[in-house]
């Protein structure tokens, strides 16, 4: 027959359990054979069975044995993976056989290589001899940029494990890693084993080498154990244990330096985070401890905290009363470890030992709503602090009656703040006990206007949103009472519409005032996206304010004027601004200006300016930008690992002190099949002290990352930073040629 096609059933295999027999479709220039025995096809042969597609110059199929023998330009694909070579023998149903001198490509990783022989044990297991692997095309120099070779490699898809014997990793022909036995996962799923080594270099610890071991204990538990050595300090051990139970989750991290040679003592850091829920009770814990006051300077990224010199030990629980879920009792214990610097000491917050309370809310009457919180706190100081503590009971509550309708709202509110104190030492007036109750009457109202408009030929929706807040709080003398958890609020567009300039319980400002503001927005009428926002707000005092953050009465009737704005009119530009103008001083007290330009993928520049009068003035700039090579959004040139060089960085400069506070600077080179990163980071730990780190990373696409990881540093510091591999998963449908 010429240009023939044939479809026949695939038989079961003698001695094997019955399995679904998929039909076989065979096409070729010519097909001959004996029915139910043997079929021979020649010329442009194509065999299909389920997900298997086999092409060759010549193919013979032994139907009773379910054995296909293919010769000449053999190419087989299965579930996206492909093999090509001169000769193949394969039992189709069992997927058992061998392939001589194949090249292969794996869709999951985008890489492939060559082997002297591949044995298919079954559909989940295979073994390759004299195998290589890379994700690089040829670069014209006789080989790919990086190549992993091994004497023998076993693949077990079901166990998600590959094991290479006699493995050597070469980068541009230079061996950079070797191992007698090397195991690796075949997918992104977790697997126990040694991870690539990491290196780090900084001015305090010197050169650091670490070799992490990942232990996949169970589907819901794992651990990472990382022994290492620091050239200046000695040996170290980092451990991390994570768990995820049906109602509990958390992690424990412990860093150990048994003998730090720079200070001649042992050092450690501990972090424990947990949260869970049981029987309508939610609980959480966060514990951070280090061995000494200098730890935050020597290891500034060891513990993720907002304030590096204040380490919390916080345990809390909250539940619901069985009869009414609107009421929640809670308990908490909060302590601090304060890392003191003799030259720049800090005053730590009070500790709560313990905090017990109940809060609730509900409705009653004709649309009335209420909220109530009552609490007892025992305040103490850290061991190194000689200040006195005390006990405080407080109750805060409110009754509101909101009226809400399309286009407007009006919410009157009556609130109170009561507190009773018992101090360990007498207060300034000689008393050890005191109490006070402060009521507050307020009314919040606003309206919303909308209209359709056209700007620069684009249809937009414009809003105007005026708002008025009236507050009346009588004066109560509080100067002699302790301050356990109150602090002045930052003056911004949120706090200006609050009824108290203090956070916490201990201070309530007296007020007879009105805050007036308005916001206008330009919206996309199709999706509601905000393109432009402009807001203004100012507070008007009807009488002097005597309870103030600095203790000096405020006599001027107008507060500072807040002006806010943002713009996203262009997809490439973004602007944000916030200004605080003092009518009394007739100058800006604070200002924040930010702009970002992102004209395309992996190209972004962000700049910011921050001013706080008589305190700080800073300039900040961050960027990710290609400086050499082809367009960053284009695929690399076929047949070569020619790539793009990027500059990345961030500088934070104090104009008041005339010095750089923090900085990050580095380069990234994306060669298509590998990415190299070199990043230097400088973190200030004092006016004249800083920690500088140098991070190196080599990312072999489709295999692993070697070195220290700077990606989190770049994400944290550069607005708009994007991973170079983010949107490049489908550049080419044609697998590269592997040698």
Q: What is the DSSP string of 112-177?
A: EEE-SEEEE-SSSEEEEEEEEEBSPPP-SSSS-SEEEEEEEEEEETTTTEEEEEEEEEEETTEEEE
Burial 376-406 (b: 16+ CB within 10 A, else e): ebbbbbbeebeeebbbbbbbbbbbbeeeeee
Is the CB of residue 560 less than 8 Å from the CB of residue 583? yes
Is 228 a residue whose pLDDT tops 80? yes
Q: What is the mean pLDDT of the chain?
A: 87
DSSP-assigned beta bridge partners for residue 440: 415
pLDDT digits (tens, 9 = 90+) for 609-622: 999 998 899 999 99
- Distance (Å, whole) CA 186 – CA 77: 18
Return the CATH superfamily for domain 4-186: Lipopolysaccharide (LPS) transport protein A like domain (2.60.450.10)
End-to-end Cα distance, the chain: 39
Backbone phi, psi, residue 298, to 5°? -75, -30
All structural domains of the chain with their residue ranges: 4-186, 192-348, 604-739
- Distance (Å, whole) CA 575 – CA 608: 10
The alpha carbon of residue 208 and the mean position of all alpha carbons in its chain are separated, in whole angstroms, by 25
Is the CB of residue 395 less than 8 Å from the CB of residue 418? yes
Cis amide bond preceding 354, omega within 30: yes
Band (3; pLDDT cuts 50, 70, 90): low
Give Cβ neighbours of residue 472 (< 8 Å, ≥ 6 apart).
Answer: 440, 441, 442, 511, 512
What the block records as the tokens of 695 is 């991070």
**Which residue has 């004092």 as its token pair?**
686
pLDDT digits (tens, 9 = 90+) for 664-702: 999 999 988 889 999 999 988 777 778 888 988 998 887
Band (87; pLDDT cuts 50, 70, 90): very high
Q: What is the pLDDT of residue 191?
A: 77
Band (142; pLDDT cuts 50, 70, 90): low
Average pLDDT over residues 528-540: 94
DSSP-assigned beta bridge partners for residue 238: 226, 255
Which of 133-147, 338-352, 638-652 is modeled with the greatest confidence? 338-352
Is the CB of residue 251 less than 8 Å from the CB of residue 240? yes
Band (196; pLDDT cuts 50, 70, 90): confident
Nearest to 185 by CA among 196, 174, 175, 177: 196
Band (21; pLDDT cuts 50, 70, 90): low
- Distance (Å, whole) CA 474 – CA 546: 10
**pTM reported for the whole predicted model:** 0.79
Q: What is the pLDDT of residue 324?
A: 64
How many other C-beta atoms lie within 10 A of the C-beta of residue 590?
20
């Amino acid at each position: 027959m010429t240009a023939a096609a044939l479809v026949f059933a695939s038989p079961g295999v003698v001695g094997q359990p019955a399995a679904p027999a998929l039909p076989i479709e065979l096409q070729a220039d010519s097909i001959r054979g004996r029915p139910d025995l043997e079929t021979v096809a020649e010329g442009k042969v194509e065999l299909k069975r389920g997900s298997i597609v086999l092409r060759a110059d010549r193919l013979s199929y032994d139907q009773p044995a379910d054995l296909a023998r293919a010769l000449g330009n053999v190419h087989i694909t299965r579930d996206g993976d492909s093999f090509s070579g001169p000769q193949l023998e394969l039992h189709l149903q069992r997927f058992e056989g061998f392939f001589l001198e194949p090249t292969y490509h794996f869709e999951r990783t985008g890489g492939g290589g060559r082997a002297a022989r591949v044995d298919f044990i079954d559909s989940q297991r295979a073994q390759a001899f004299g195998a290589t692997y890379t994700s690089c095309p040829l670069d014209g120099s006789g080989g790919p940029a990086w190549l992993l070779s091994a004497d023998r490699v076993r693949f077990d898809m079901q166990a998600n494990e590959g094991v290479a014997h006699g493995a050597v990793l070469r980068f541009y022909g230079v061996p950079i890693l070797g191992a007698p036995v090397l195991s690796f996962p075949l997918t992104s799923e977790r697997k126990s084993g040694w991870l690539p080594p990491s290196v780090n270099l900084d001015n305090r610890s010197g050169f650091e080498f670490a070799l992490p071991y990942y232990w996949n204990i169970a589907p819901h538990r794992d651990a990472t154990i990382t022994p290492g050595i620091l050239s200046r300090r000695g040996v170290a051990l980092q451990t991390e244990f994570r768990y995820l139970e049906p109602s509990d989750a958390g992690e424990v991290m412990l860093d150990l330096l048994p003998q730090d040679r720079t200070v001649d003592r042992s050092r450690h850091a501990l972090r424990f985070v947990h949260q869970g829920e049981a029987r309508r009770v939610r609980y959480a814990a966060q514990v951070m401890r280090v061995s000494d006051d200098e730890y935050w300077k020597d290891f500034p990224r060891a513990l993720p905290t907002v304030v590096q010199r204040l380490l919390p030990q916080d345990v809390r629980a909250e539940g619901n009363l069985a009869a009414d879920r609107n009421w929640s009792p809670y308990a908490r214990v909060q302590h601090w470890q304060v890392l003191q610097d003799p030259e720049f000491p800090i005053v730590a917050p009070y500790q709560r030992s313990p905090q017990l309370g109940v809060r609730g809310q509900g409705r009653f009457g004709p649309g009335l709503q209420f909220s109530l919180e009552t609490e007892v706190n025992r305040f103490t100081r850290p061991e190194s602090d000689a200040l006195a503590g005390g006990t405080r009971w407080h109750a805060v509550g409110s009754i509101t009656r909101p009226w809400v309708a399309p286009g407007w709202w009006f919410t009157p509110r009556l609130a109170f703040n009561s507190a009773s104190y018992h101090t360990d030492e007498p207060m300034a007036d000689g008393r050890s006990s005191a109490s006070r109750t402060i009521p507050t009457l307020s009314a919040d109202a606003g309206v919303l206007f909308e209209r359709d408009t056209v700007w620069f030929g684009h249809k937009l929706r414009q809003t105007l949103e005026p708002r008025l807040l009236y507050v009346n709080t009588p004066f109560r003398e509080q100067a002699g009472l302790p301050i356990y958890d109150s602090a002045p609020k930052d003056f911004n567009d949120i706090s200006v519409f609050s009824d108290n300039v203090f956070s916490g319980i201990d201070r309530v400002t007296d007020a007879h005032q009105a805050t007036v503001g308005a916001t206008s927005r330009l919206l996309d009428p199709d999706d509601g996206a905000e393109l432009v926002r402009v807001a203004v707000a100012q507070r008007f005092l009807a009488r002097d304010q005597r309870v103030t953050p600095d203790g000096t009465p405020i006599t001027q009737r107008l507060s500072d004027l807040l002006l806010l704005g943002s713009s996203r009119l262009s997809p490439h530009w973004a602007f944000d601004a916030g200004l605080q103008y003092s009518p009394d001083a007739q100058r800006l007290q604070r200002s924040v200006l930010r702009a970002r330009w992102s004209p395309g993928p992996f190209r972004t520049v962000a700049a910011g300016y921050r001013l706080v009068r008589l305190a700080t003035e800073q300039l900040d700039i961050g960027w990710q930008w290609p400086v050499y090579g082809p367009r960053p959004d284009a695929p690399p040139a076929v047949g070569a690992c020619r790539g793009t060089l990027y500059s990345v960085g961030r500088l934070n400069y104090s104009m008041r002190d005339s010095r750089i506070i923090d900085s990050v600077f580095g380069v990234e080179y994306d060669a298509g099949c590998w990415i190299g990163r070199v990043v230097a980071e400088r973190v200030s730990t004092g006016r004249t002290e800083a920690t500088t780190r140098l991070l190196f990373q080599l990312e072999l696409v489709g295999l692993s990352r070697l070195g220290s990881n700077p990606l989190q540093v770049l994400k944290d510091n550069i607005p708009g930073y994007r991973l170079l591999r983010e949107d490049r998963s489908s550049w080419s449908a044609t697998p590269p040629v592997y040698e």
